[in-house]
């Protein structure tokens, strides 16, 4: 399926851990349709999963009355994924995990999600909501780039 | 929605005669997997278990919370003087484990067969 015009797909997820897999499956399906290489689809799936987990845990604070929006848009040789929540957004930049510090109990063993997102896609941007809510992370993966 | 993590222990011997505990996982490795991963590991008698192989062959999904649990297992094993290796990770999760630095504390092998010849 060759894509010469914009393709937009939207999904809304409950703020419940595990439902990030719905976003992963959707992202994988769209990525396959627009011709992303299989290894890059795996990269995208993990990045999207981590973005959704952050949105569920930190953005929406596990409040099941709130949903997580996932918007996929394929255009101009790239697939863009926005994951939206009702939080204030991330103010810190991703930091590469220091395995030695983690192994010595000097750093939380968790906290690798943002790093993985940034490492696995071509662009990762955290955008705070203008009114202190409705923030999103924007992930971009280019269709012509190898992993 | 997350699939339950199934896990079990197999005790085997390498071709060179070294005893080995293999922790086999199946399903997702995520925040809900603590008991199946770390809890199962903690049932191993530390004095008798010098080498542990983590078998991810039947694992399809690992997220950062799951990786954090694996790191906690590595911490305990390192403190106990045990050697940890992993096998059966997909190419993608081999890359992810390498990115976060796990390969500094655990060797990764494509399969149990390859791991057994190296351990």
pLDDT at A62 over 70: yes
- pTM of the model as a whole: 0.93
The residue with greater pLDDT, A134 or A44, is A44
| pLDDT in the model for residue B20 | 95
Q: What is the ipTM of this complex?
A: 0.92
Question: For B20-33, how does the pLDDT look when each residue is reduced to its tens digit (9 = 90+)?
Answer: 999 999 999 999 99
Chain A contact for B98, CB < 8 A? no
Average pLDDT value for chain B: 95
Closest CA to A70 of A120, A119, A29: A29
Q: Which of A19, A21, A44, A54 to mutate to test the interface with B (most CBs of B within 10 A)?
A: A21
Contact present, B103 and B72 (Cβ < 8 Å): no
Contact (CB, 8 A) for B43 and B75: no
**Token pair of B74 as six digits:** 């590595």
Given this model, what pLDDT does residue A126 score?
94
Average pLDDT estimate for B65-72:
97
Task: Determine phi and psi for A25, rounding to 5 degrees.
Answer: -65, -40
Using the Cβ of B102 and the Cβ atoms of chain A, whether some distance falls under 8 Å is answered with yes
* pLDDT interval class at A94 (50, 70, 90): confident
For every residue of A82-120, DSSP letters joined together read EEEESS----SPP----HHHHHTTSS-S---HHHHHHHH
Inspect the interface and report whether the beta carbons of B64 and A53 lie closer than 8 Å: yes
* Each residue's pLDDT tens digit, B75-86: 999 999 999 999
Among the partner residues B63, B68, B69, nearest to A49 by beta-carbon distance: B63
């Amino acid at each position: 399926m060759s894509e010469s015009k914009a393709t937009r797909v939207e999904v809304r997820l409950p703020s419940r851990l595990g439902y990030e897999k719905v976003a992963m499956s959707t992202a994988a399906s769209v990525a396959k349709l627009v011709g992303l290489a299989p290894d890059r689809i795996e990269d995208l799936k993990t990045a999207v999963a981590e973005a959704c987990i952050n949105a569920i845990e930190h953005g929406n604070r596990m409040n099941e009355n709130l949903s997580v929006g996932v918007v996929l848009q394929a255009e101009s040789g790239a697939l863009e994924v926005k994951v939206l929540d009702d939080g204030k957004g991330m103010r810190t930049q991703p930091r590469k995990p220091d395995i030695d510090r983690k192994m010595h109990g000097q750093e939380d063993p968790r906290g690798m999600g943002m790093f993985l997102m940034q490492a696995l896609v071509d662009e990762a941007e955290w955008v705070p909501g203008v009114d202190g809510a409705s923030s999103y992370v924007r992930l971009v993966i280019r269709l012509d780039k190898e992993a | 929605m997350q699939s339950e993590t199934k896990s079990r222990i197999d005790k085997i011997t390498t071709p060179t005669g070294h005893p080995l505990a293999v922790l086999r996982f199946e399903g997702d490795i995520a925040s809900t997997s603590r008991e199946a991963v770390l809890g199962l590991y903690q049932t191993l008698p530390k004095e008798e278990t010098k080498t542990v192989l983590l078998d991810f062959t039947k694992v399809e999904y690992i997220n950062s919370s799951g990786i954090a649990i694996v790191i906690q297992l590595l911490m305990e094993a390192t403190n106990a003087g045990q050697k940890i290796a992993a096998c059966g990770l997909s190419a993608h999760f081999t890359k992810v484990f390498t990115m976060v630095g796990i390969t500094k504390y655990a060797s990764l092998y494509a399969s149990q067969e390859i791991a057994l010849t190296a351990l």
